[in-house]
Amino acid sequence: MSDEQDRTYKAFDDLLDPKGPVVLVGKQLLKVGSFDDEKTEIVFPPSYANPSEKKDDPPVYNIDPPYDPKDPLTHNNVCVLDSIPSQANRMEPLFGEPPYASLVPQYKVKFNDELPIVNVTQIGHRIADAAFRGTELRSKIVEAFKEYAKGNAKKLAEIGPTSLVFGVWDSRGTGVKVPRLINSIIRAFNVRSIKRSAQYTPPIKYEQEGFIPAGLEGKPADHGLADVPSSHKIGGVQVFGEIRRDFSLNLELLREIKGASDDETRKLQRYILGLALLAFTATQKTCLRQGCQLLPIGEPTWKQFSARGVESPWAAPPNITELTQSAASTETGFGVAQPKNQPLVFDKNLLKASIDADAKKKADKKAVSAGGPIDNLKNLVNELEPVRGDRFSTAKTAKLTKLQEAVTAIESDSAADGNLKTIAANLKPLLIADAGAAERKMQMLALFPAASDTAPSEQADQIPEAAQ
């Protein structure tokens, strides 16, 4: 890298310098477009399934602490209008459209001729999503996650660089987690939940006029043929305080993104920083959902913090787009390559193979962790503790009772291993509550082979070919 190029990237390199700021933070005040000057706007937050998990319980808003009707004048609470994952999913599509689409690989998936083709920037789980598990790209994705886990993020950036910006968790495959660099959330402060009601009235009285089809299943209202009241449902929140978007860019995490060499790391970090800054400073769309269109009040304010907590104002470089384009180019930067043969074709057979292989891998890990049936039986013996009189307790909840039940189950299991059955048969006459319990426990433990003879082979780091 030439000195001239280093000077070109100075605005980026100052942020990437280990002695530089560790986090950038932004604050944007928001408002609802209305004539209400009393700052008592009504907005509709996202609704969530009731935590009671009962089928008929109504949805709820995320308000902490909940509004107290006994204290109607003090609304010391906070309501989430857009969560951190939701904000990430709103920012990421920025890189699926001009002028930024050329900055990231545009992987796409086609499910069939009827469904729309989806872009990687539109998929919530990013490259770890099931959409890609059902394509031939999965093998490269698995390889990229494995390399990331070893400390090299280059392959992950080549396939899904936005996964390094907004985070990703391959929870159903390799288990690799990539932390998000950008955290953004929109909250409303000091709110009161309100209710709303509605009523559907059909144009005629179908039942009274004799227009209900014979043999119709369900109630007429189920088909729009009768009145349908909807009373006292959640109807948004009235906001008495601020509506605010708080967002941050974690530079400390960004500096941990590495390549195979210092030069590769420098190019990779500049590229990811450019993408992050574009998303971090972009003007967001105003409409979050029906009933929740939020407009900015003035410009956002920015700060940067050092590792010692010293804060100072921060201003976005005026040429972020140009710097990121340079950082992404093959000639001067990381080298973004657009994939060929797009869109990828989704194959449910590939998805099934991936799911089955990942399930086997997790089962193998669990078996390694558990130690296998012989080790599990030995663990039950180890848990035996003589009580007063050097006897074993025979209570229903006692360890001896559990061990007796395990031995009985092994004896009746036709698929049980021969060695396991032999150990169980030799244990059985020793499973009594008579005096001499400590000696019998030693005899039981002597029946088991050494740990190295029973431990299953370690394959936790191997990923079956089908999962790739």
pLDDT tens-digit map of 271-302 = 999 999 999 999 999 999 999 999 999 999 99
Contact of 160 with 127, CB cutoff 8 Å: yes
The pTM for the full model equals: 0.77
Calpha distance 106→96 (Å, rounded)? 7
| Average confidence score pLDDT of the chain | 89
Confidence of residue 36 (pLDDT cuts 50, 70, 90): low
Specify whether 302 is located in the same domain as 177. yes
Specify whether 342 is located in the same domain as 354. no
Calpha distance 154→264 (Å, rounded)? 8
What average pLDDT does the segment 36-42 reach? 71
Domain's final residue, options 300, 316, 346:
346
For residue 367, give both structure tokens: 């078996």
* Maximal C-alpha separation, the chain: 89
Three-class DSSP labels, the chain? CCHHHHHHCHHHHHHHCCCCCCEEEEEEEEEECCCCCCCCCEECCCCECCCCCCCCCCCECCEECCCCCCCCCCCCCEEEEECHHHHHHHHHHHHHCCCCHHHCCCCEEECCCCCCCEEHHHCCCHHHCHHHHCCCCHHHHHHHHHHHHCCCCHHHHHHCHHHHHHCEECCCCCCCEECCCEEEEEEEECEEEEEEEEEECCCCCCCCCCCCCCCCCCCHHHHCCCCEEEEEEEEEEEECCCEEEEEEEEHHHHHCCCCCCHHHHHHHHHHHHHHHHHHHHCCCCCEEECCEEEEECCCCEEEEECCCCCEEECCCCCCHHHHHHHHHCCCCCCCCCCCCCCCEECCHHHHHHHHHHHHHHHHHHHHHHHCHHHHHHHHHHHCCCCECCCECCCCCCCHHHHHHHHHHHHHHCCCCCHHHHHHHHHHHHHCCCCCCHHHHHHHHHHCCCCHHHHCCCCCCCCCCHHHC
The per-residue pLDDT for 207 is 92
Specify whether 252 is located in the same domain as 294. yes
pLDDT at 392 over 70: yes
User: Beta strands 344-345 and 108-110: pairing type?
Assistant: parallel
Specify whether 330 is located in the same domain as 427. no
Specify whether 274 is located in the same domain as 206. no
In a domain, 227, yes or no: yes
195, β-bridge pairs: 234
What average pLDDT does the segment 353-371 reach? 76
Q: How far is CA 408 from CA 216, 416, 424, in A?
A: 56, 12, 8
Domain's final residue, options 346, 369, 393:
346
What's the structural domain count of the chain?
Answer: 3
- How many of the other CB atoms lie within 10 Å of CB of 10? 11
Specify whether 71 is located in the same domain as 173. yes
Specify whether 180 is located in the same domain as 322. yes
Specify whether 380 is located in the same domain as 429. yes
Specify whether 99 is located in the same domain as 55. yes
Q: Say what the alpha-carbon torsion angle 326, 329, 332, 333 is, to the nearest 10 degrees.
A: 90
In a domain, 449, yes or no: yes
Task: Count Cβ neighbours within 10 Å for each residue of 170-209 and write b for 16 or more, e otherwise.
Answer: bebbbebebebbbbbbbbbebbbbeeeeeeeebeeebeee
In a domain, 303, yes or no: yes
Specify whether 334 is located in the same domain as 418. no
- How many of the other CB atoms lie within 10 Å of CB of 163? 26
In a domain, 191, yes or no: no
For residue 377, give both structure tokens: 């039986």
pLDDT at 11 over 90: yes
pLDDT tens-digit map of 403-449 = 999 999 999 998 888 999 999 999 999 999 899 999 999 999 999 98
Domain holding 104, by residue range, is 3-186+241-346
Specify whether 387 is located in the same domain as 450. yes
pLDDT at 46 over 70: yes
The per-residue pLDDT for 65 is 86
pLDDT tens-digit map of 207-249 = 999 999 999 999 999 999 999 999 999 999 999 899 999 999 9
In a domain, 467, yes or no: no
For tokens 């105003």, the residue is 286
In a domain, 258, yes or no: yes
In a domain, 321, yes or no: yes
In a domain, 468, yes or no: no
- What are the residues whose beta carbons fall under 8 Å from the beta carbon of 59, sequence distance 6 or more? 47, 48, 49, 50, 234
Domain's final residue, options 320, 346, 372:
346
Specify whether 264 is located in the same domain as 368. no
The per-residue pLDDT for 267 is 96
pLDDT tens-digit map of 109-139 = 999 999 999 999 999 999 999 999 999 999 9
Task: Count Cβ neighbours within 10 Å for each residue of 11-24 and write b for 16 or more, e otherwise.
Answer: bbbebbeeeebbbb
The per-residue pLDDT for 370 is 61
Q: Say what the alpha-carbon torsion angle 409, 410, 414, 416 is, to the nearest 10 degrees.
A: 140
The per-residue pLDDT for 332 is 87
